[in-house]
Structure 1
């Protein structure tokens, strides 16, 4: 399975709106994936068991798989452009084990009140047992982002900043409009959704073998979790139709190099900032 963060490895990032150009070999790899698709019955089972598969993932990997995301304040200036006296409500949609929330806590965001939710009860329990978890300014809870149950724990229109970082790709495309609607409803007018996920023709997409493809650009990993690979056009349409203003919507192409480990990996991500409009009257 791919890892989304390489904080200890030298890398350069390039932002742009153009889709990555494929080599002939890469085109052949993608074409070969169509030789054996996942049957509809198995795809339906993956959807039914999505929560279970993610819970098993966290049972197996605990807190050791994803790296803490210390890059978020560099990429998303919205996290630091606040008066330090202003109370800021931050919501992490799909928090995993807290790889985004806890680095912010460590960096001294003392004016932030954090809400963190995840599909997996086991992941939420790892958040709650982290030594940095503070019930005075943090609340972690289980929520299915394809339903309204998140609003059992937070009020609609109460959030300054929400994040959706490497989460939407694991959700069935039919449910994306609901996820975007949930994010929109949670934010205050003027609030911003910060987004990052896997981009079309990322290295991980090209590496899938026949027998892993569910549908166009949507795949099953070995452990039963799933991953989609986005274009910026898809995201602009999705979040625009949900009511957001598109502040940023771009590809991030990165070549990650670690000479000691012999790693030279081209990655493609998508990154966005989507604002809930300030309503007048």
Structure 2
């Protein structure tokens, strides 16, 4: 007769058994935690979206003339009052306000818990008038301010020789290097300070290499170009300090070179 061998049942070491139980406990704990998080999220979302506590009741707007702020507040409340603030499309509101306020550089709409919207408008400031038959107020970035009346902006320098179609408008950036150079020159003139007593009324940016401005009301033309503006303005400052200089008898001063070239009338 054939004898059958008896095999003993293999037993895992106690260390492996303990590790298995530990892993199962951790997995079970993770599952419970995930279920708890999902359940909590559902409850919180339902509370935020359905509770009357978060229904829109007021709008705060700032950064524009009071008449515009009143209009913004009344319009938003008329359309959204009583709506849950988490369901209100803030991006759509900002875009609609951009159409009504094209000269605003930034329009930011935020929620203020529990029941308010905050609207912040940041408007562009005119720094010069772009003139090419018609007059267009522009800001430091060369963007035309379509809502500003140039007739009410007396005292701003006038930039000539640039086609307005290349200037910025609404969301379109300035594409004119000549206009960019003229605005950069205005910045450097403002920093230099010594030209404040003369005043800069007109800049000619038709040829960027011969970028120029008029010194005062009836003063000479200053040809400066578009490079090394700070250094060239220093040359002009030293030139104007010469007591022998009679501005009324000078046609132009060219400061594009190391030594200023002065042309009499």
Q: TM-score, normalised by structure 1?
A: 0.19
Q: TM-score, normalised by structure 2?
A: 0.20
More helix by share: 2
Higher RCO (C-alpha 8 Å, min separation 6): 1
